[in-house]
Each structure stands twice: as C-alpha cells, then as structure tokens.
Structure 1
C-alpha cells in the first residue's frame, strides 16, 4: 500500500456554485472514497496564482462545499481580482487558501510536492484539466511516487467536430504528458481502454474499470415544475454530440406530443439547436440546474430516458435510468453494448419513423418498464482501483 495519496481536486473547485455533472461526480466519488481509506490523503488545487496543498483535515472541512454545494463564504479582494465574474469559484479558492498547509507558484510545484509528500505517495488525477506537463512531471518528481491518470474517453480525438475549437490539440498534448509521466491509466470501459492504447505515443498500462452508479434519493420538484404524464426526459449538457436536434425533429412530427424535458445546461458550438429551442417548440421544456434529487424524481416518473448521443464515455444517466426501472432509448453505440447489453431500445439515427413509433408506443404504455438491472457500484470500483494505486 502507498504511504499516502494525493488527489487533484481542481475540477471540483472549478464547479463551485454549479450542479455537478459526469466527470465532476467521479472526482467527488474519489474524494469520498480516499477520505475513507486508511492512508493519509492530500489534496491539490490549481489556481491562477499557483497551487494549494491541503491535508486531510482541510479536505474534510471542505467536503460539504466540494461535493454537496455548501456555501464557500465570501471571497476577499485578491480572490475577486483573480476570478472576475466567478464569485463562487473565487470564494472557494479563498477559503482553500486559508486551509492549505502549503502554497507554491506554478513553477515551484515540484519543490512543494517533494518537500511535503511522503516517499511512495500515490498520485491520482481524475479530471482531465489536471493532466498537464506541469502537474504530472511535478508529481513524478516525488521519490517513489506512483502516478495514475483517469482518462474518461477519447471523444475529442474521435469526434473533434463535436468539441470546442482547440480541444483536440489540447487532448493530444494531455495524452503526451500522461504517457511521459504516468505509471497507469484508468478509464471506465474496455472500448475506451482500447481507444486510449491506440492513441498513446508510447505503451502504458491501461485498465478499464466500470464507474459506480449512485442513486440519489428523490427530492420534491421545484416550484413551477409540474410534469404531465406521459413525459420523456433527456439528461446532460446540451452539446453537439448529444444530438438532441433529433428529438426536436421527432417531436415536430408527432401527432400527439408528450412533454419532453431537456435537463442540462447549454453547452457549446450548438447555435442552430439553441435557436430552435429559443422558438419554444411545443411541449419541449428546458430545465437546467436541477439537483440530483430533483432529477431522480423527474427521471423516475418518465416513460423513458432518450439518449440519441453520437458518442459517450460511460453514460451515467443511462445506468441510473435502468436502475430505476425507466426504459432507455439510444443509438446503438459500442459503449452501450458493452455495459448495458440488450437492455436499451436501440434505434438508428437515420430512422426517424422508428424514433416516432418508439416514443408513441412508450407514451401509450403506462405499465411498461425497463428490464431488471443492477448497476455497478463504487465499492467494486475502488476495490480494483485501490489495489493498483
């Protein structure tokens, strides 16, 4: 076992004041699990002024705000200057600066870590934003350190057309830095592991370990949200690869339109789709910002989760839906076949008739449901991960 562990929590800090989504929730699960492990835990936070190092006490004090949305307090003048327009993140970094056991400018991160971390520390990076030459080389400079990177998928390289400009180049640089300094790469599926191995500039161990699925307890829906059965739901950032324009096409052609809830914030490179949403298509309702508990309530009452995504990493909403007995309708992707088998209803993107027919059939079937499904759990995930890191 390692003498200690270091977890980069910069991504969680960057989400201050916002609802956690896919990768954020994975980093949150790692923080909880490593705090429960017997080895001492340190946390690393990247800020505009440099890096902050927290010990286990600092991480425990910050846990409610990092993973459950508790208030970070107010930011001081310096924090507000470094994060203009982002008051919650500024407040988070100000609070963490006070709780840090050490700080260092960017160029001195290696010196900070070698002075403060025990020999043989296991370093883990779960959010892609931390996979930089600067951070990885500094971690590797700690004597006896084992560096593990979690790469969730290779979508920026497989489908650059769905990403922000420059994302593919940054991802290529991330892979190069990871290959140069990491000892192990983790990912969530065998399909992703195969793609990562193919993309690495040098051989490196890559292990696919399914993510755990947390089922949040239902919470009352917010005022003004009163779904009318039958209704359908799509969950996730409204970005190009989610292919949600297909659902608008389907809804336009339905003779009887049930409600369709789009639960996610608006993303990037999607102006045509956003323009269509701004025209308020009939029975299509945008609801960003719902809590996990509110999403659980809305999802549990839906006739189906609709996922016309053109690419997915792990797809936590599909696992959650099936675990709650809610059918999933999706495109036939390798990631779904690997992790969900024949449980979803698979349709072709080009078959608009089948999409309309499936929605109409599900809307009319009040007694239908998904086949039984026991989702993967975090205990199994960390049993594997902690044995390797």
Structure 2
C-alpha cells in the first residue's frame, strides 16, 4: 500500500503550480494509474485527512481544474487568515475523506487502515514533522522522502525569514527517520549527503531524474500583444534572489533602449525588494516586461518562439525550466552549474555569470539570427516512466 503526502498541494491550492508542486502531482497521477492500493494524507488546520482512491481522484480533478472547488464549510471558515482557495480545498477534502483524525490520533488512524504496513512518500518537503514521521513508523510504515535541494542551507541569504532553521530541522528529521531518500540528481545527492553526514546518519538513497510533462505550445492562448514582433528572449521562474534576474536587468541596461524584449515569466517571490523596485521604475514601453501567471500552453509557446531562453541562476536543485526549454527546441543560455551540465550535456550554452561579456556576445548573436536558424536540438530528456521504475522497483 502506498500513502502519498499531499499537504503541499493543499497549501498551494489556487496558485500556479511550481516545479515541486508538479512533482507531487506527478506522483499522485502515477499512483492512480497503477493497481497498487493508494491513499493520500493531508494535514489541515484541524487535523489530518486520509483519502482513498476515489478521494484522490476527486482531489486531482480539482487541482487540474477539471472540477471546481466547493464552498468553504463552517470549520474552514474559522481560519480566516488562510486564502479562500485553501479554505475551500480543505472543505472539499473533508467531504472526500475516507477518515479524519485529530493530530494526537494520527498513529491510531494509520494502524487501523494499514494493518499490514505501507510505504509513505513525501515529495513536497511539507509535513515532515516529528509527529507524522513517528506516527508512520509506529504504524509499521516505511518512509521515502524526495529531496529537491539543500539550497536553504547553502544560500541562507536568499531565503525567507525563519525558513532556514525550519528546513534544517526537517533535514535532521529525515536523517533520523527516513528509510530511503530519493534524489533528483547526483549533484543534489552529493550536496545533501554532506549535510546528512554531519547530522549523524545518511539514509540509503537513490537518484531518479524528474520527468517532464510538456504542454502543447498554443500561441492563441497568449495575451494580446504577444509574442513580440522580432526576436525576443525569455526567462522562466519565480522572481526570487537565487534566480538572479538582477543580472539580466544589468545586461539589458548595457544593451540600451534598442535591446530586444526580455520577458520575465514568473510571479514575484521573496527577499527581492531591490529587484522589484527596479522593475517598478521601468518606463512604459521598456523592453523588459513581467508576465506572471501565464497558462502552461501559452508559456510553452513563448519559450519555443524565443531567440533564446536565459537562466542565470546561482543555484538549482534540478532545473526544470531549462530542461523544458531545450525539449521545446529553444536555445538555452545558462549559468555554468554542475547540475545543469549533468542532464543537459551539450544541449545548452554555459556561461558563468562572472563573464558578462560572453553573455552580451551570445545575446547579440542570437538576436541577429532568425528564430529557428540555430542548431536543431533533438533532445529527449528524462521521463517519468524511468523515474518511477527507479523509485518503485
């Protein structure tokens, strides 16, 4: 029996799915496709909800927009500090639940429904609490945790206030309690195991590259005025410090007012007030433009039609956006990170962000080349089938 933690998906209800969200949902889809009994565990504001296969199907339908979220129930309306979409999602989960429990009663609920043992999967870094991990172990469960990165420990200055200590505490619990860790890359495994070793225990691990579910590009889904006329560049990702959007703004200042459009495809994140102030100060008609909350098929069309996709990130755990850009046939220019070389190989141009002249040279070259004039890339990236054959074997 498989028990998938879906707490992150609940907390992200109503938002555009990020890379980690998409991984959690990929596990949900896969478990539903297979014959093995599957269940979901979600921590709500008022305890835990257990979902069976029917409940998981209903939750996925709402996450994918095939079914609307219902109305907030009385219990959910008590938590006014939470977004309305989360309160509605909690109410639906209670309606879909196979069972519910208060926090202290979680071990008993798990023992009742999984008397023969089970595999607990946590892929979203949410709900990795002492209470949950202890309850799983006490009920005879095996703990599998997918680690996406250890960037909060490596780059604490990039994180939200208080998040570094929270992440470190989670990793210590994983060190002590996990039966197996799933890593998205060899680079992530190497970096993580250095911290785990210092924490006293390195659980057994396996590397399984993440798959991609490429949307079909659809130009008609783009807002009016897009794509721009002539060559343009894109970058995809939340506007957070480690993504290094400030570097791109510096380059566009050097290129001047005649620079090709640069489309920042992502929502504003955290700890980036200086960047946001620069963006807010840009005059009307400036070539740099923010495009948050684009539909996947519209975003894919922009990436595919661009003169190049740019990724000057200072750190990545895996890097789904550059991987997807290469698969869409876009030319990719990225910072020289070991993790990107690991799975992109020779299918991207690597340039250290310390070499701004190389970046400017590549931008000028690509802007002068018509879309599609570059080398055709027949790149087949990692897929979910291979990921799950590794994880579930």
TM range (shorter): over 0.9
TM-fit CA distance, 1:222? 3.7
2:374 aligned with 1:377: no
Q: Do the aligned residues in 2 keep the contact of 1:343 with 1:370 (CA within 8 Å)? A: no
In the other structure, the counterpart of 2:206 is 207
Residue pairs, 1:110-125, within 5 angstroms: 110-125=107-122
Q: Which runs of 4+ in 1 moved over 4 A?
A: none
Q: Do the aligned residues in 2 keep the contact of 1:304 with 1:328 (CA within 8 Å)? A: yes
TM-fit CA distance, 1:80? 2.1
Q: Do the aligned residues in 2 keep the contact of 1:314 with 1:335 (CA within 8 Å)? A: yes
TM-fit CA distance, 1:238? 0.3
User: After alignment, is 366-375 or 179-188 more displaced?
Assistant: 366-375
In the other structure, the counterpart of 1:336 is 340
Mapped partners of 1:225, 1:90: distance in 2: 36
2:41 aligned with 1:41: no
TM-fit CA distance, 1:329? 0.6
In the other structure, the counterpart of 2:357 is 353
TM-score by length of 1: 0.95
1:166-214 CA-partner distances (Å, limit 9, x unpaired): 2221111111111222100001000111111111121211211100011
Mapped partners of 1:171, 1:99: distance in 2: 31
Q: Do the aligned residues in 1 keep the contact of 2:206 with 2:391 (CA within 8 Å)? A: no
Residue pairs, 1:253-272, within 5 angstroms: 253-255=254-256, 256-272=258-274
In structure 2, relative to structure 1, the CA distance for the partners of 1:237 and 1:21 (3 Å cut) is same
In the other structure, the counterpart of 1:109 is 106
3-state SS of 1:82 partner: coil
3-state SS of 1:93 partner: helix
User: After alignment, is 8-17 or 213-222 more displaced?
Assistant: 213-222
Residue pairs, 1:155-174, within 5 angstroms: 155-174=151-170
User: After alignment, is 319-328 or 255-264 more displaced?
Assistant: 255-264
Aligned residue pairs total 383
In the other structure, the counterpart of 1:77 is 74
The RMSD of aligned alpha carbons is 1.4
In the other structure, the counterpart of 2:301 is 297
1:60-96 CA-partner distances (Å, limit 9, x unpaired): 1221112447421221232122243511111011011
Q: Do the aligned residues in 2 keep the contact of 1:260 with 1:284 (CA within 8 Å)? A: yes
Mapped partners of 2:88, 2:6: distance in 1: 16
1:115-152 CA-partner distances (Å, limit 9, x unpaired): 12241211100000122212111111112x21100110
Mapped partners of 2:135, 2:240: distance in 1: 34
Structure 1 gap segments, 5+ residues each: none
Structure 2 gap segments, 5+ residues each: none
TM-score by length of 2: 0.94
1:275-327 CA-partner distances (Å, limit 9, x unpaired): 00101262111111111111111111111110000000111111111111101
Residue pairs, 1:357-368, within 5 angstroms: 357-366=361-370, 367-368=373-374
Q: Do the aligned residues in 1 keep the contact of 2:181 with 2:204 (CA within 8 Å)? A: yes
TM-fit CA distance, 1:371? 3.2
